[in-house]
Amino acid sequence: MAIERSTYKDHVIKHIYNGLQENRFRAGEKILESHLAKDLGISRAPIREAMADMVSAGLLEYRPQVGNFVAALSAKEIIDSYVARGVLEGFAISQGINNFSNKDLLRLEEMAHQMEQFARQDQRKALIDIGQEFHEELFRHCTNSQVVLFTKQLSLKLHLLFYKHWANVYTPEEIRDRHLEIIAMIRKKDPVKLEQLIRQHYIDTGHKIVEQEN
Amino acid sequence: MAIERSTYKDHVIKHIYNGLQENRFRAGEKILESHLAKDLGISRAPIREAMADMVSAGLLEYRPQVGNFVAALSAKEIIDSYVARGVLEGFAISQGINNFSNKDLLRLEEMAHQMEQFARQDQRKALIDIGQEFHEELFRHCTNSQVVLFTKQLSLKLHLLFYKHWANVYTPEEIRDRHLEIIAMIRKKDPVKLEQLIRQHYIDTGHKIVEQEN
DNA sequence: ACCCCACATAATGTCGACATTCGACAGTTG
DNA sequence: CAACTGTCGAATGTCGACATTATGTGGGGT
């Protein structure tokens, strides 16, 4: 199976990421450069670059002179990642708390209700997509490039876990209420409590995910 | 000039990092793979890997099909980075606020006074070293691997700026007092105010650095 | 039976060369 | 004179092969 055009590295990254999502690469497993090279019909050079990228994104782990392995997150690492995300996202959103118009908030509320519907109908992809959209909307007013960067990194990593376990983490009603709670707190214009709330939200989610992993 | 042994990538990274610190590579400048390869007497492969690493660390910027450039941080990006560091470090230290023994704190206070002395005597390297030690000590009780990782990334990047401007940022007394202030707040066991204080500390520093850059 | 060591295998690390693409300059045209 | 276009040099992207190192295996010794 060959690849079409432009820089190969991005294609390789996508290929591996899809593999992770579809569980074709299992946690802890070693990924051979030569296998990917043969599968994709290209040389090892772009594959090495792609894997190096994914190592820095935390999706793979690298042992010198040995190779790359699918990152096997321990329970603590999963929780740590969710906590870190809560810290960053809590700050980001609280900082822009006054930039949300009533129209923005109404739209967010509508999205929360849509998420409930999708969850109820087991439409995983639609739910994940609108969930991402929701968070992007919350982040829209964060202009701190560094915070945005870190958060995106974490998103990429945690997305895989959430994609796998979402159905067993929250009920449709909980999904709706948890998001509505955040919106309500934005309305109250209390940045400190909002930050706490968002942190707690991610702490809870992290623990729930860990329960599912075991 | 040749390199000695073990995986070349790390040597190359160190070489570039030193070059940045000594200002042999100036901001915005393009770094040619072939030049480094010739200078270090090795092939381009390990150099490409090293540069890719430094891109993900934020020290270099990469434009596909064009090359790698020394990251030219805008004023806003500098401030953003300091703010982000304040957020992370504020959280990390506050979380471990109860793990500091009185002995720890006395040691930290001593370090603050040493920093004042070194600053007064223009001993840049000694000051920077003990400053790093101070922060590592504060971080010692943070077990969140993800937060630690992000903070290290930021450290690496901001270190270069601080190394360049430290002398014009704070007076020796200010350096001492700012650090003592943090220790005093740890003593008060007020995590919320401690977090605020640390954030403010980095916000101030960021602004001072930006003033120096222009 | 267990441990140690040497060897074979296979993967990563590195290399030099080729293919492709970007950026600059010169020449042309309106 | 300005703007566009074609050409050329140089740097990056990719390749296949070789060098080096980790891992597993089997034989020999205790």
- Locate CATH 1.10.10.10 in chain A: 8-70
CB count within 10 Å of CB A207 equals 15
* Alpha-carbon distance values, B7 to B4, B52, B58, B197 (Å): 10, 15, 22, 42
CATH architecture assignment, domain A75-213:
Up-down Bundle (1.20)
Task: List chain B residues with CB under 8 Å of A150.
Answer: 84, 150
- Residue matched to tokens 């202009």: A143
A88, A145, A192 member nearest B87 (Cβ): A88
pLDDT in tens, B52-64: 999 999 999 999 9
Please indicate whether, in this complex, the C-beta atoms of A146 and B91 are within 8 angstroms of each other: no
Q: Is strand C in 7 Å reach of the CB of B9?
A: yes
Straight-line distance from CA B174 to C1' C15, in Å?
Answer: 53
pLDDT digits (tens, 9 = 90+) for B167-183: 889 999 999 999 999 99
Q: How far apart are CA A150 and CA B154, in angstroms?
A: 10
Between the CA of A79 and the C1' of C14, what is the distance in angstroms? Answer: 39
What pLDDT is stored for residue B167 in this prediction?
80
Sign of CA dihedral B47, B48, B49, B52: positive
Closest residue on chain B to A199 (Cα): B91
Residues of chain B with CATH 1.20.120.530: 75-213
Give the model's pLDDT for residue A6. 59
Q: For A87, which of B64, B77, B91 is closest by C-beta distance?
A: B91
Q: What pLDDT, on a 0 to 100 scale, did the predictor assign at position B2?
A: 28
Considering chain B, what percentage of its residues have pLDDT values greater than 70?
A: 97
User: pLDDT tens across B64-87, in order?
Assistant: 999 999 999 999 999 999 999 999
List phi, psi (to 5°) of A22.
Answer: -90, 5
CATH T-level topology, domain B8-70: Arc Repressor Mutant, subunit A (1.10.10)
Nearest CA to B146 among A204, A57, A77? A77
Which nucleotide in the DNA or RNA is closest to residue A48, CA to C1'? C12
Nucleotides on strand C lying under 7 Å from protein C-beta = 11-17, 21-23
- DSSP code, position B74: -
Q: Average of pLDDT values for B12-36?
A: 93
Report pLDDT digits (tens) over A37-93. 999 999 999 999 999 999 999 999 999 999 999 999 999 999 999 999 999 999 999
Helices (H), chain B: 8-21, 33-40, 44-56, 75-95, 102-120, 124-139, 145-169, 172-187, 191-213
Quick one: how far is CA A147 from the chain centroid? 15
**The one-letter amino acid at B151:** T
